[in-house]
Amino acid sequence: MDSELTIGALSERSGVATSALRFYEAEGLIHATRTAGGQRRYSRDTLRRVSFIRVAQQVGLRLDEIRVALESLPEHRTPTAKDWERLSSSWRPRLDAQIALLERLRDRLGGCIGCGCLSLRFCKLLNPDDQAGQRGPGPRHILEG
């Protein structure tokens, strides 16, 4: 049992499509060695890397941010549980902020929309830190703040 995974095996185990895995490689989020014939072989901890990527997406990170995060992992040894924990704990502020926003929305929905207060630019509900968010095109991720 060589513990190298083919792209199909990694896909099956991670639940992530092979096309996505190739895409992640192109974006520098994961890496593979190649067989003599040119096929990808993944080391076992790539599975954990892929898991990290998917969870990070749920937290609202974009792939380029995730790439940067992953780059802070040790290069020449398999990352430990502690490494992963350090990485993911950096999300806490982000998660906390997002949870707070959603709770604010939930608890003040009725009042704020119906009333005349909404000039949005200055609405405390949406811009608690007075950032009128104009951040270019593309889909809006709710966690982007």
Partner DNA sequence: GTCAATGTTAAAGTTTGGTTGAAGTTTTCT
Partner DNA sequence: AGAAAACTTCAACCAAACTTTAACATTGAC
Q: What is the DSSP string of 110-133?
A: HHHHHSTT--STT-TTT-TT----
Q: What is the DSSP string of 39-84?
A: -EEB-THHHHHHHHHHHHHHHT--HHHHHHHHHTS-SSSPPPHHHH
Which residues, 6 or more positions from 54, have their beta carbon under 8 angstroms from its beta carbon?
14, 16
Tell me if 22 contacts a second copy by CB under 8 A. no
Site for DNA in 61-100 (CB under 7 A): 62-64
Site for DNA in 109-138 (CB under 7 A): 134, 136-138
Q: How far is the CB of 73 from a second copy (least distance, A)?
A: 12
Q: How far is the CB of 82 from DNA (least distance, A)?
A: 26
Structure tokens at 77: 């040894």
Site for a second copy in 28-67 (CB under 8 A): 47-48, 50-52, 54-55, 57-60
Q: For residue 24, give the nearest of 10, 34, 12, 38 by alpha carbon.
A: 10
Q: Which does 49 bind (CB under 5 to 8 A by kind): a second copy, DNA, none?
A: none
Tell me if 98 contacts a second copy by CB under 8 A. yes
Tell me if 99 contacts a second copy by CB under 8 A. yes
Q: How far is the CB of 143 from DNA (least distance, A)?
A: 10
Q: Which of 19, 33, 72, 78 binds DNA (CB under 7 A)?
A: 19
